[in-house]
Amino acid sequence: MYSERMRRRLFLIACAVGFGAGPDGAAIYRDSCAACHDSPAQSRAPAAASFQMTSPENIVRALESGLMKEQGASLTADEKQAVAAFLRDGTILWDFDSTREFTGGQ
């Protein structure tokens, strides 16, 4: 029927599909944050590029208990972590395509 190698491949594919890719920080940013952070002159929000010098922990802290608490209230803990990683260095957590990079809305 299937070789051992093929069974292993099918198992890995099933695991990847079963566990899902997790939250996509880029998509969450685009849907929830970009309107203000990609237009800082109009919104007085810090530009997204400025977060590259901010630790992910501080970004999450701002979403949980800082100035962005109200905006972060609708995000899960995993979504906050994914956005923080994306803003910090363009990382898209749990995504198999690690070649995508943050463009700062450009």
pTM above 0.75, yes or no: no
Task: Single out the residue of 46, 47, 45, 58 nearest to residue 85, CA to CA.
Answer: 58
Q: Which domains are seen in the chain, by residue range?
A: 23-89 (1.10.760)
State residue 27's pLDDT score: 92
| Greater model confidence, 95 or 2 | 2
Q: pLDDT-based confidence at 106, cuts 50/70/90?
A: very low
Spatial distance between the Cα atoms of 100 and 76, rounded to a whole number of angstroms:
23
Does pLDDT of 2 surpass 80? no
Tokens of 62: 């701002």
From the CA atom positions of the chain, what is the Rg in Å?
A: 17
Ramachandran region, residue 92 (left: φ > 0; alpha: ψ -120 to 50; beta: rest) = beta
pLDDT digits (tens, 9 = 90+) for 23-35: 899 999 999 999 9
Q: What digits encode the pLDDT tens for the residues 44-85?
A: 899 888 888 888 999 999 999 999 999 999 999 999 999 998
Q: What is the pLDDT of residue 101?
A: 43
